[in-house]
């Protein structure tokens, strides 16, 4: 087996590893509010979300096309260098996902991936390695930056208006009857968000694997994404979702706004509508930012609701640093791969990835969050591991 084929296989495994982290990192986007309001039991919620993530991955490939050919200008780079760029970008995305998961911060897996890829491409090729502006189907600014800025505000506006109307229309009804009715409604709306998440996020990894296959010369950009790539990515994100990202579920479900069933329904319905619409236009939107904006909107739309602005501020800070810090890791990984050269450099990066991932996981076990405490009352501050002082996150 050639060294180039070994590198391709490592890239595919790493991409599926990113997809797996995307699953448990972003489970909260669909299920945090349903778990917080008691509409679904935690294990039932993540199982349902996993199945629908799996199905949603097969609904469209527009986002995958954007990722595979609309962001990086690496068509004229030799095959091994292209594989190194893709691999280094994936490492940056995975490590940022794991770090923010450790601290319970609902940051964007999508932007972590794009940041890693951009950092690696710039380190390898300079600024010309990125398609900054393009046509309606390509370009970092139009496809990533603009949607990233607008999505949380649009989601907050839609969810806030929906929440206001719900409480306005049900103001004379008994609270218990209203809550019970919307708990049932949440099951449907949470299912729709899970389907939308699979449609949007699993495709990002499909796009990355297809980019690697094109780099290797197995396919061309004009070919269709093969079925095995779709199935592998759908399965990886579904498995990650089933494990449940309890640390982030707790932050979104309990930390930002105290959510009642009508708010949960409004948040999930607005998130699903925005995510599904963006997928049809090939916009690789951050489902995390959409879900967070929607939850914030429900706090603004409900009379007398409390929004914990400090928690939101820490989330927003993480969002601002996601692209540059994931990009920095991607650039460093490219540098290591380039320093050692060829297969050796990729193996060194891969070993570092496994080591750092294991370290983060072991640190998380010092203060676990699981089904037994995910719905505990928010304590008003951070609850980090006893010897870790966190300045940027929420409960872990």
Q: What is the pLDDT of residue 138?
A: 61
Q: What is the pLDDT of residue 380?
A: 54
Size of the chain in residues: 396
Cβ–Cβ < 8 Å for 302, 260: yes
Q: What is the pLDDT of residue 392?
A: 37
Location of structure tokens 């109307």 = 165
Low pLDDT (below 50) residues in the chain: 381-396
86, 65, 69, 77: which is closest to 9 by C-alpha?
Answer: 86
Q: What is the pLDDT of residue 383?
A: 43
What span, in angstroms and rounded, lies between the C-alpha atoms of 263 and 266?
Answer: 5
Give the burial class of 377: count Cβ atoms within 10 A of its Cβ; 0-12 exposed, 13-18 middle, 19 or more buried.
Answer: exposed
What span, in angstroms and rounded, lies between the C-alpha atoms of 22 and 97?
Answer: 7
Q: What is the pLDDT of residue 279?
A: 72
Cβ–Cβ < 8 Å for 130, 122: yes
Q: What is the pLDDT of residue 304?
A: 83
């Amino acid at each position: 087996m050639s060294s180039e084929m070994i590198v391709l296989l490592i890239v595919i495994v790493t991409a599926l590893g990113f997809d797996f982290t995307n699953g448990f990192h972003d489970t909260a986007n669909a299920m945090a509010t349903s778990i917080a309001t008691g509409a679904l039991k935690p294990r039932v919620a993540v199982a349902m979300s996993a199945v629908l993530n799996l199905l949603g991955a097969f609904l469209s490939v527009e986002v995958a096309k954007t990722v595979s050919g609309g962001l990086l200008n690496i068509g004229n780079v030799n095959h091994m260098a292209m594989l190194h760029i893709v691999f280094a970008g994936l490492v940056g995305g995975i490590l940022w996902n794991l770090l923010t998961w450790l601290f319970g911060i609902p940051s964007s897996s999508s932007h972590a991936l794009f940041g890693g890829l951009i950092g690696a491409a710039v380190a390898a090729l300079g600024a010309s390695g990125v398609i900054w502006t393009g046509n309606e189907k390509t370009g970092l600014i139009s496809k990533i930056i603009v949607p990233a800025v607008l999505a949380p505000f649009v989601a907050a506006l839609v969810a806030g208006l929906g929440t206001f109307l719900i409480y306005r229309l049900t103001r004379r009804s008994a609270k218990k009857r209203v809550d019970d009715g919307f708990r049932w409604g949440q099951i449907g709306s949470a299912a729709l968000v899970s389907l939308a998440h699979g449609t949007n996020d699993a495709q990002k990894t499909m796009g990355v694997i297809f980019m690697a296959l094109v780099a290797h010369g197995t396919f061309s950009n004009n070919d269709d994404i093969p079925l095995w790539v779709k199935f592998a990515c759908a399965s990886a994100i579904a498995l990650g979702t089933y494990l449940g990202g309890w640390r982030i579920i707790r932050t979104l479900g309990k930390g930002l706004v105290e959510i009642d069933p009508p708010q949960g329904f409004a948040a999930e319905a607005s998130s699903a509508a925005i995510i599904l619409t963006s997928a049809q236009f090939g916009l690789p939107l951050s489902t995390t930012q959409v879900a967070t904006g929607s939850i914030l909107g429900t706090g603004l739309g409900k009379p007398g609701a409390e929004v914990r602005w400090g928690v939101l501020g820490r989330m927003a800070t993480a969002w601002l640093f996601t692209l540059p810090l994931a990009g920095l890791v991607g650039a460093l990984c490219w540098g290591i791969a380039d320093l050692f050269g060829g297969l050796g450099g990729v193996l060194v990066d891969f070993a570092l990835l496994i080591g750092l991932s294991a370290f983060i996981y072991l640190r998380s076990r010092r203060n676990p969050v699981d089904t037994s405490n995910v719905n505990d009352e928010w304590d008003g501050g951070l609850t980090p591991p006893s010897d870790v002082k966190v300045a940027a996150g929420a409960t872990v």
